[in-house]
Structure 1
Amino acid sequence: MSILQTIVTNTKANLIEKKAQLPLEQIKLSLEDLSLPKGKFKDNILNKDEAIIAEIKKASPSAGVIDEDFNPVKKALEYEAFGASALSILTEENFFMGSVDYLKKVKAITSLPILRKDFMIDEYQVYESKLIGADCILLIASILSDQQIEDFIYIAKKLDLDYLIEVHDENELKRVEHFDDALIGVNNRNLKTFEVDLNNSVRLRNLFKQKNIFIAESGIKTREDMNYLKQNNIKVFLIGESLMRGSF
Structure 2
Amino acid sequence: MLADLMAGALSDARERELQRSLSQVEAAALAAPAPLDALSALAPADRVKIIAEVKRASPSRGQLADIPDPAQLAVSYEAGGASAISVLTEGRKFKGSLADLEEVRGAVSIPVLRKDFISTPYQVFEARAAGADLALLIVAGLDTKTLSELYTLIRELGMTALVETHRAEELEQALDLGAELIGVNARNLSTFELDRDLFGTLASQIPSGVIRVAESAVLAPADVAHYRAAGADVVLIGEALVTNDPILTLGEFLAV
Same fold (TM > 0.5): yes
Give the structure 2 partner of residue 158 of structure 1.
Answer: 156
Partner amino acid, structure 2, of 1:228? H
Distance (Å, rounded) in 2 between the aligned partners of 1:18 and 1:35: 19
Q: 1:29 aligns with which of 27, 30, 36?
A: 27
Contact 1:54 1:86 in 2 (8 A): yes
Matched ranges for 1:85-104 at <5 A: 85-104=83-102
Give secondary structure in 2 for the equivalent of 1:13: helix
Letter in 2 for 1:44: A
Cα deviation for residue 158 of structure 1 reads 1.2
State the distance in 2 between where 1:29 and 1:194 align. Answer: 37
Mapped partners of 1:69, 1:204: distance in 2: 34
* 1:106-117 equivalent positions in 2, closer than 5 A: 106-117=104-115
**Secondary structure of the equivalent of 2:214?**
strand
Counterpart in the other structure of 1:40 = 37
Q: Counterpart of 1:87 in 2: which secondary structure?
A: strand
CA contact (8 A) 2:29 2:129 kept: yes
Alignment partners' CA distance in 2, 1:87 and 1:101: 15
Relative distance call for 1:116 and 1:128 in structure 2 (3 A) is same
Deviations 1:92-135 (A, max 9, x none): 01110000000101111111110100000111011111000000
Match of 1:67 in 2: 65
Q: Give the whole-Å Cα distance in 2 for the aligned partners of 1:91 and 1:69.
A: 13
Query: Partner of 1:178: helix, strand, or coil?
Result: helix
For residues 160 and 185 of structure 1, what CA distance do their matches in structure 2 show?
19
Give TM-score scaled by structure 2 length.
0.91
Using structure 1 for the length normalisation, give the TM-score. 0.94
Paired residue total: 245
Equivalent residue for 1:213, pick from 203, 211, 214: 211
Mapped contact 2:54–2:70 kept (Cα < 8 A): yes
Shift in Å, 1:21: 0.6
Q: How does 1:1-248 map to 2 (within 5 A)?
A: 3-32=1-30, 34=31, 36-48=33-45, 49-246=47-244, 248=249
How far is the alpha carbon of 1:17 from its aligned partner? Answer: 1.2
Shift of 1:181: 4.1
**Cα 1:78–1:159, aligned 2, differ >3 Å: closer, same or farther?**
same
CA RMSD in angstroms, aligned pairs only: 1.5
Greater CA deviation, 198-207 or 69-78? 69-78
Kindly indicate whether the alpha-carbon contact (under 8 Å) linking 1:58 and 1:70 is maintained by their aligned counterparts in 2. no
TM superposition shift of 1:208: 2.7
Q: Which string of whole-angstrom CA distances, capped at 9 and with x for unpartnered residues, describes residues 55-114 of structure 1? A: 001111111110135431221111111110000000001110000000101111111110
CA distance in 1, matches of 2:206, 2:5: 29
| 8 Å contact kept, 1:41–1:115 | no
Answer yes or no: is the 8 Å Cα contact 2:64–2:239 preserved in 1. Answer: yes
- Consecutive unaligned residues of structure 1, counting only runs of 5 or more, are none
CA distance in 2, matches of 1:232, 1:16: 40
- 1:14-73 deviation line (CA, Å, top 9, x unaligned): 1221111111111222334x2521332221111322100000011111111101354312
Output the CA distance in 2 between the equivalents of 1:170 and 1:94. 30
